[in-house]
Amino acid sequence: MSGAGAVAIFASAFVLTHLALSHPLREPLARRLGPRGFSAAYSAVSLATFVPMVLARRNAGPEAPLWVLGEWAWIVAALLMWLGSVLFVGSFRRNPAMLQVGAGRVRIGEPAGVFRITRHPMMWGFALWAVAHLLVHSEPSAAIIALAILVLAIAGSLGQDRKKQRQLGEAWITWERRTSFVPFGRGLHWPGTFAVIGGTLLFLLATWLHPYPVGVWRWLL
């Protein structure tokens, strides 16, 4: 079996088990195993599929790229990585969709920060990371992993919307009307100072630690 073939098998297992454990199997397994037991099982399955995927990528050896784009692709990839980092960092601060329950009612706050850009900022952070890598790392094994992350991020976001609709009903439907699934679907919004500063620092650090110069370091080093 080729290196890319092994990566594809483990990447498929990683995506499918994540989606299954996050949605259709989550509630029945959580009832049977308890919250801590489910968390432990979820982590174990994640490691059991993620680690072999990464090792298969490392063992794939040299691969010819599927496509080679111009310098513009590196510029776009850097911008996408930066935006993805901003959305990711911002998702940890003041999530209005964290439920406030009182007097038997469910209330979701007003969209703020990166949640004005998209109601799934963390997932879109991963998705933009994947697209950036597809632009400039088109080796078969690398492209397979990036596609797996992209599918997991988008499908996971859609699955979360459906699950929240079932759980919260009109409260979540109203939240969906006030927010956007895709980034900037409801116009341009400032993500917030915390997200911009934290995301920029994460972007600079992550690209600095890359095996070879990427991001702004491609032009500075």
* Same domain membership, residue 87 and residue 18: no
CA dihedral 27, 33, 39, 41 (to 10 degrees): -110
Helix, strand, coil shares of the chain, percent, nearest 5, are 70, 5, 30
For the entire predicted model, the pTM comes to 0.90
Q: Which of 63, 83, 117 is the last residue of a domain?
A: 63
Q: Which of 32, 63, 94 is the last residue of a domain?
A: 63
CA distance 134 to 81: 12
- State the residue range of the domain holding 166: 71-221
Residues sharing a CB contact under 8 Å with residue 188, sequence separation 6 or more, in sequence order: none
pLDDT (tens, 9 = 90+) of the chain, 221 residues, equals 678 899 999 999 999 999 999 888 888 988 888 888 889 999 999 999 999 999 999 898 889 999 999 999 999 999 999 999 999 999 998 777 665 555 556 678 889 999 999 999 999 999 999 999 999 999 999 999 999 999 999 999 999 999 888 888 888 888 999 999 999 999 999 999 999 999 999 999 999 998 888 999 999 98
Give the number of C-alpha atoms closer than 13 A to the C-alpha of residue 134, restricted to the C-beta side: 15
Mean pLDDT for the chain overall = 91
Give the total number of structural domains in the chain. 2
